[in-house]
C-alpha cells in the first residue's frame, strides 16, 4: 500500500516530509486540500490537524512525529547518540523557525495570529 501524505495546498509543515520521501525515491500520494475541502475531513482526522501520513493503513499525525518516522525509515536519523541528537536539533531548529514565520504567513492569507481577518488601515 503506498504512502499517503495529506496537507493543505501549501508547503509549510508538510514540505520536510515531501523532501524526505523524494530524497528516498519513495513513491507517495501527495494529497493537498483547499481550506474548503479540508473542513469536512477535519473532524475525522487525528487531533483535527494536518499533516497526516498514512502508511500501511495506519495514520501518523503531527509534523515532527512524521519527520522522525520518515528519517528512521529511510536511514536519515543518524547513527549513535550524538549524531541522532544533532539531527534532532536540526529538526527542532526548523520547528522554531516555522513558528516564528507563522504570523507572516497568516498575514499573507489575510489573517491575524488569532484567526481574525487582517484589517489594513491606509
Report long-range pairs for 24-27 (Cβ below 8 Å, ≥24 apart). 24/70, 24/73, 24/74, 24/76, 26/74, 27/2, 27/3
Q: What is the model's pLDDT at position 68?
A: 93
pLDDT tens digits in sequence order for the chain, 122 residues long: 689 999 988 888 899 999 999 999 999 999 999 888 888 888 888 999 899 999 999 999 999 999 999 999 999 999 999 999 998 998 889 889 888 888 887 777 777 777 777 766 65
Task: Give CA 121 to chain center in angstroms.
Answer: 33
Q: How far apart are CA 22 and CA 15, in angstroms?
A: 10
Where would I find the H helices in 32-113?
35-42, 63-73, 80-108
Q: What is the model's pLDDT at position 122?
A: 57
Q: What is the model's pLDDT at position 108?
A: 75
Amino acid at each position: 500500500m503506498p504512502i499517503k501524505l495529506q496537507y493543505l495546498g501549501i508547503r509549510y509543515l508538510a514540505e520536510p516530509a515531501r523532501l524526505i520521501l523524494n530524497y528516498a525515491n519513495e513513491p507517495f500520494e501527495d494529497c493537498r486540500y483547499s481550506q474548503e475541502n479540508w473542513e469536512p475531513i477535519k473532524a475525522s482526522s487525528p487531533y483535527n490537524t494536518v499533516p497526516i501520513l498514512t502508511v500501511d493503513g495506519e495514520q501518523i499525525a503531527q509534523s515532527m512525529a512524521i519527520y522522525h518516522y520518515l528519517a528512521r525509515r529511510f536511514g536519515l536519523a543518524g547513527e549513535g547518540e550524538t549524531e541522532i541528537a544533532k539531527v534532532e536539533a536540526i529538526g527542532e531548529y526548523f520547528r522554531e523557525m516555522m513558528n516564528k514565520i507563522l504570523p507572516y504567513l497568516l498575514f499573507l492569507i489575510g489573517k491575524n495570529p488569532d484567526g481574525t481577518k487582517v484589517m489594513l488601515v491606509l
